[in-house]
Amino acid sequence: MKIASAEARCYRVPLPAPWGSATHRITHHELIVTRLATDSKLEGVGWSYTIGAGGTAVAALLSDYLLPRVVGGDPAPIEQIWDRLWRETHDVGGGLARLALASLDIALWDLRAKAAGQPLCALLGGLRTPVPAYGSGVNLHLPLPELLAQVERWQRRGYQAFKIKVGDDDPERDVERVRAVRAKIGPGARLMVDANQKWRAAEAVGRIAMLEPFGLYWIEEPVLADDVPGNAWVKAQVRTPVALGENVHSTYQFAEYLRRSAVDIVQPDVARVGGVTEWLKIAHLAQAHHLPVSAHLVVEISCHLHCAVTNATVLEDVDGGSLTELGVLRNPIRAEQGSILPPAAAGHGVEFAWEALRRFEFGPGAAAAAVAAPRERA
């Protein structure tokens, strides 16, 4: 089997409702979708994402540099392809290159699983079983009644674990919100909070201490992800487990966190680390340190990955962030009774609704044109 043609496109898809955290307000996801056509008529589809900026640059890196290097070649040696292209793009910048690699890597794994006639999770050596998930919200901007209504919707869908945002400028407001959610879900449910790198190390210790009476399962990204010593110091000072990983991009960076005992729950993002190939290495690295993994976002691929490793804990299902909720899938993938079952089809099972997606295509220069247009009318 050879790759006969390849393409990458960027789509700027509006969220069902805006997201708000301690550091971001998010209105769109940009999906960078790669399609690989083969001489055997199989097609592999992969994607990565941004939270609203940079997607056209990722698509250009794929179209201009990465995809021409795989067309005409054998898609089977994924590890070798990944390593060669990573070395060629390493100087571009970790985040940008990894997002591009992920879109291609996921498409290659989709091809391999389709050729084998297996769901991706089975190809990776796992069992296709329901994956326990948690309801997650980018919800710091929500008034307390709306936050509790969101949690209630998660409860109706069968979740037994929940995550909310913290990092308000007023520490007492964080306490009020966490106290209210804990009261609503009861003492037996898992409750996690996410500060999105808002605090400095000393401040983080004090803020976490205020929240510890509510029995948190983890505190996520209390300080900058770049600050390995700071995270290690915070972890040593608090009782609540520290989770992080969505802004860590390689096995080498994760290894430094593990060497310094700076993390309790490892959270690699399959798009941001460069795809399935690198995600599995990070999960196995965590296992070698007796630590659990919990994939960040990309639930449609992450559910397969959680089936394929033995150290996975609950999987994140972000309210409004799945491809199903974005309205771009032909066959929805939803949590049932608080768990997500990977599709049974060969490959990863994600079938994009191409007509729906095409409405959101977003090419280079589109953002600049949108800004310039009002000036031209003035």
Q: What is the pLDDT of residues 150-173, one digit of tens each?
A: 999 999 999 999 999 999 999 999
Contacts of 209 (CB under 8 A, 6+ apart): 238
Rounded Cα gap, residues 353 and 357, in angstroms: 6
* Residue 373 main-chain phi, psi, to 5 deg: -55, -45
Segment (H or E) for 37: strand 25-38
Residue 22: is its pLDDT beyond 90?
Answer: no
Distance set, CA 216 to CA 76, 115, 192, 268 (Å): 43, 44, 6, 21
**What average pLDDT does the segment 62-90 reach?**
96
Residue with tokens 């793009």: 89
Identify the pLDDT of residue 377. 33
Provide the token pair at 191. 């409750």
Segment 371-378 long-range contacts (CB within 8 Å, at least 24 positions apart): none
Q: What is the pLDDT of residues 212-235, one digit of tens each?
A: 999 999 999 999 999 999 999 999
Q: What pLDDT band is residue 279 in, cutting at 50, 70 and 90?
A: very high
**What average pLDDT does the segment 51-78 reach?**
96
Identify the pLDDT of residue 95. 85
Q: What is the pLDDT of residues 306-346, one digit of tens each?
A: 999 999 999 999 999 999 999 999 999 999 999 999 999 99
**Which has the higher per-residue pLDDT, 321 or 370?**
321
Percentage helix, strand, coil for the chain under 3-state DSSP, each rounded to 5: 45, 20, 35
Rounded Cα gap, residues 123 and 117, in angstroms: 9
Amino acid found at 187: P
Q: What pLDDT band is residue 256 in, cutting at 50, 70 and 90?
A: very high
Burial readout 105-137 (b: 16 or more C-beta within 10 A, e: otherwise): bbbbbbbbbbbeebbbbbbbebebeebbbbbbb
Residue from 331, 279, 250 nearest 86 by CA = 250
Whether the Cβ atoms of residue 2 and residue 39 lie closer than 8 Å to each other: yes
pTM of the predicted model as reported, rounded to 2 decimal places: 0.94
Whether the Cβ atoms of residue 190 and residue 223 lie closer than 8 Å to each other: no
Identify the pLDDT of residue 78. 98
Q: What is the pLDDT of residues 175-224, one digit of tens each?
A: 999 999 999 999 999 999 999 999 999 999 999 999 999 999 999 999 99
Q: Give me the domains of the chain, ranges plus CATH numbers.
A: 3-118+354-368 (3.30.390.10), 122-340 (3.20.20.120)
Q: State in Å, rounded, how far the first CA of the chain is from the last one.
A: 56
Residues with active-site annotation: 165, 296
CA atoms within 13 A on the CB side of 80: 7
Q: What pLDDT band is residue 52 in, cutting at 50, 70 and 90?
A: confident
Rounded Cα gap, residues 367 and 57, in angstroms: 12
Identify the pLDDT of residue 370. 44
- Residue 163's beta-bridge partner residues? 136, 192
